[in-house]
Amino acid sequence: MTVFLLGQDPEAFPPPERADRSGLLAIGGDLTPARLLAGYRRGIFPWYSEGQPILWHSPDPRFVLLPGQLHVPRSLEKVLRRGTYAIRADTAFSGVLEGCAAAPRPGQDGTWITPEMHGAYTALHRLGHAHSVEAEWACPSRCSAMDDYRERLRDRRSKEAETLASLTGWSMDDIRRKMGPDGADVKNPRPWYRRLWNE
């Protein structure tokens, strides 16, 4: 297994095709905006844990959720129509990172969102290259106490799926028409092979 050591030039990445079976490609470098953007243009991203050196990955295939292929179940349509969540973009970027870093991960210790990664992606956000989408619980005043209780117990996937549906900007009928019977479920992202990524 060959893992490449990155030098000072933020544009100098090895070809993504040289990644090992797990997707690991390179080690080292830094998390400057220039290097992060150069990596993402090539389908390469940093992913490592606290105490490790910066590890750069380019897995093949990657798994991608395509908003145009999002399948919205009827039960989620009801949640969308009720206005259970207020969907916003770029209003709480740092909070989204902190929430993701603190989310429990059964079977895993720690998070890849280290303080260094938080700082690097916040810098990308300030430059307009990284974005967040926030789904804030917004039960209207007409909700009863029981509705309030039920909504707060909903599975987080419902919140994430509603966020994705909102990003498409389509009505539920539009989404059904565009998806057809073969739409991808939000829990089943499609494989995106490197040859497609680089086209």
Q: Looking at residue 47, what DSSP letter applies?
A: -
Confidence of residue 160 (pLDDT cuts 50, 70, 90): very low
Q: Which residue has the higher pLDDT, 197 or 64?
A: 64
Encoding tokens for residue 34? Answer: 């220039």
3-state DSSP assignment of residue 89: strand
Q: 3-class DSSP state for residue 184?
A: strand
pLDDT at 100 over 50: yes
Region 8-28: mean pLDDT is: 94
CA 62 to chain centre: 12
Is the confidence at residue 174, as pLDDT, over 70?
no
**DSSP-based three-state secondary structure for 70:** strand
Q: Residue 51: which region, alpha, beta or left (left: phi > 0; alpha: psi -120 to 50)?
A: left
Which domains, from first to last, does the chain contain? 4-63 (3.30.70.3550), 66-92+132-188 (no CATH)
Provide the pLDDT for residue 10: 94
What's the mean pLDDT in 66-70? 72
Greatest mean pLDDT among 58-62, 72-76, 118-122, 156-160: 118-122
How sure is the predictor about 31, in pLDDT bands with cuts at 50, 70 and 90?
very high
Q: Is the pLDDT of residue 130 over 90?
A: yes
| Stated pTM of the model | 0.70
Q: What is the rounded CA–CA span in Å between residue 15 and residue 25?
A: 9
Helices 74-82, 156-168: inter-axial angle, 10-degree rounding:
80
List the alpha helices (DSSP H) in 59-140.
Answer: 74-82, 93-102, 115-126
Average pLDDT, the chain: 76
What's the CA gap between 192 and 180, in Å, rounded? 20
| CA 155 to each of CA 105, 158, 160, 184: distance values in angstroms, whole numbers, following the listed order | 15, 6, 9, 19
